[in-house]
Amino acid sequence: MSKIVNNQSSCPGGFATDIFETSFSLEKTKCDQVWEKLQRRETFVKGQLPPYKVEFASGLEEGAFLEGELNIHHGPLLSVHGCIGQVSDTYRALHYFYGSYVLSFRLVRPFLLEFFRHENTIELKIHCYVVPWMLPFWRLGNKLFWKFFGISFLF
């Protein structure tokens, strides 16, 4: 669904491509509210717990995301910098650049984050290159993170 952005390598040797998917079912009104918050810079700039931070190259900290906008989410064991991709009423993409990592560049390299808006559901997909032995830990960590923290702060 997202436009292809030439900002990432193909899957490196010794890594596997993984797509972690989860969804959040909500009442329609609540789903609309959460979706609106997911489309705004301030949700991520002001919603971070120190020492993590989200910054936009434009310096803007509020307002709706713009396609092509550069940003970085960084902190201990995390550096995911990228470009906002397609933004619509039902979809948003964030293309991560080569060099982005979670834990270590040698372990997990995210390359695409997608959000999908359905009538009563928000779906999330994180596309990564992951060292195969790390896959069970990566998936378990994501299940726990998205279940207990994730976007639940927006509910």
For residue range 20-40, what is the model confidence (pLDDT) as tens digits? 999 999 999 999 999 999 999
Q: What is the domain partition of the chain in residue ranges? A: 16-154
| Residue 147 pLDDT grade (very low, low, confident, very high; cuts 50, 70, 90) | confident
- Give the number of other CB atoms < 10 A from CB of residue 112: 20
Which amino acid is residue 77, in one-letter code? L
Two tokens, residue 88: 């619509």
Coil, strand or helix at 34: helix
Give the pLDDT mean for 35-59: 93
How much is the pTM?
0.92
Do you find a cis peptide bond into 50, omega within 30 degrees of 0? Answer: no
Kindly list the distances between the CA atom of residue 81 and the CA atoms of 7, 31, 56, 71, 143, in Å, as whole numbers in the listed order: 11, 27, 10, 6, 22
Q: For residues 103 and 75, is the Cβ–Cβ distance under 8 A?
A: no
Is 3.30.530.20 the CATH number for 16-154?
A: yes
- Give the number of other CB atoms < 10 A from CB of residue 133: 9
Which amino acid is residue 106, in one-letter code? R
| Residue 154 pLDDT grade (very low, low, confident, very high; cuts 50, 70, 90) | confident
Whether 19 has a pLDDT exceeding 80, the answer reads yes
**Average pLDDT value for the chain:** 92
Kindly list the distances between the CA atom of residue 74 and the CA atoms of 53, 56, 82, 91, 133, in Å, as whole numbers in the listed order: 6, 12, 11, 24, 24
